[in-house]
Amino acid sequence: MKILVTGGAGFIGSAVIRNIIDNTQDSVVNVDSLTYAGNLESLSLIEKSERYAFEKVDICNRAELDRVFSTHKPDAVMHLAAESHVDRSIDGPAAFIETNIVGTYTLLEATRSYWNTLSQDKKDAFRFHHISTDEVYGDLEGTDDLFTETTSYEPSSPYSASKASSDHLVRAWLRTYGLPTVVTNCSNNYGPFHFPEKLIPLMILNALDGKPLPVYGDGMQIRDWLFVEDHARALYKVVTEGEVGETYNIGGHNEKANIEVVKTICALLEELVPENPYSKASAAHSGEDGNINGFESLITYVTDRPGHDVRYAIDASKIERELGWKPEETFESGIRKTVEWYLNNKEWWSRVLDGSYAGERLGVKG
């Protein structure tokens, strides 16, 4: 099978592509416009595979999308391209409306045009898999409530509202035009190759450099954390085995308050890099009392973001029951793997932080 993956240079998209190339015989066409969060270096391990192709294309560019479909003739689309950072959506919502809504519409229309040229057998086998977020549901009131596939939409931010809009478009294209679509909504992802603006990599890298670890409000916002490689396996299950018209919620079964996540990272760093000047061990060795709490002393509480949802939690029983998927990583195993990856891959994240990775967007090596 040949799968067209949009946003394949992003965090989740690159994990999906690595999973497909490493663990299946399928081919991948990566369609990515390489905005700031797109990083082809996240695909360096598979980029020379004969089953991988890259197209630098914006999903809002219909003519280019038509060319890609005509050239590569995919059997399925996995649509991950999106603007995804809540803070950025608050500061500048226009890009989120353009990419997440207009881009999804343009991709749907290009896909539909291509799909209509296929034989009936290929039409029936084709899938358009839209990857979305649990943030479309808003937040949960009680401590025991969970998001299910039938939870009503109540998005709180420009980001989540734009993703909710794209979900509705995808379902409408199935209902109106018969395009065989499937939707997944996932909880917070974490793991290797995560762009440093997001909570977990930001905390790791700030701590290593002795910078403040900014925590919104009281830090008690709860998220369900999903290891990105578990998510990639789930997404492949859905695109190959999911039922047309169905929605599948994908979660990690790992509810953690933000402050607990940050303190867990601090504890792991105390264990893994005791020689770091900001660790407890270094403070004790130097005889200084100022850093007696080590990395935790860097935690700084900052003003909460506007409209900040308090709790997300996913009921992922449907995908386990119907497709046989469940996460392999606990939060404890996944966060350890993540911290260790950042400690062992300074070249990747340092090129992101200094901007040199961006040279690929201009066609040059940084």
Q: In which residue are the tokens 């290891």 written? A: 227
Candidates 134, 230, 296, 329; catalytic one:
134
Catalytic residue among 52, 114, 159, 248: 159
Sheet holding 247-250, edge to edge: 52-55, 27-31, 2-6, 76-79, 127-133, 181-186, 247-250
How far apart (Å, rounded) are the C-alpha atoms in residues 232 and 214?
29
Alpha-carbon distance 262 to 265, whole Å? 5
Ranges of residues in the chain whose predicted pLDDT is under 50 = 361-366
Residue 306 has what pLDDT? Answer: 84
Q: Residue 19 has what pLDDT?
A: 98
Element counts in the chain: helices (H) and strands (E): 14, 12
Structural domain spans, the chain? 2-189+226-253+309-330
Identify the active-site residue in 135, 167, 229, 270.
Answer: 135
Tokens of residue 314, six digits: 């996913």
Question: Among this protein's residues, is 134 annotated catalytic?
Answer: yes
User: Has 159 been annotated as catalytic?
Assistant: yes
Pick the CATH number of 2-189+226-253+309-330 from 3.90.226.10, 1.10.10.10, 3.20.130.10, 3.40.50.720: 3.40.50.720
Q: What is the pLDDT of residue 361?
A: 46
| Residue 224 contacts residue 253 (beta carbons within 8 Å) | yes
Q: How many CB atoms lie within 10 A of CB 141?
A: 9
Q: Which amino acid is it at 176? A: T
Q: What is the pLDDT of residue 305?
A: 81
pLDDT at 285: 58
Q: What is the pLDDT of residue 291?
A: 63
pLDDT of residue 365: 33
Specify the pLDDT at position 364. Answer: 34
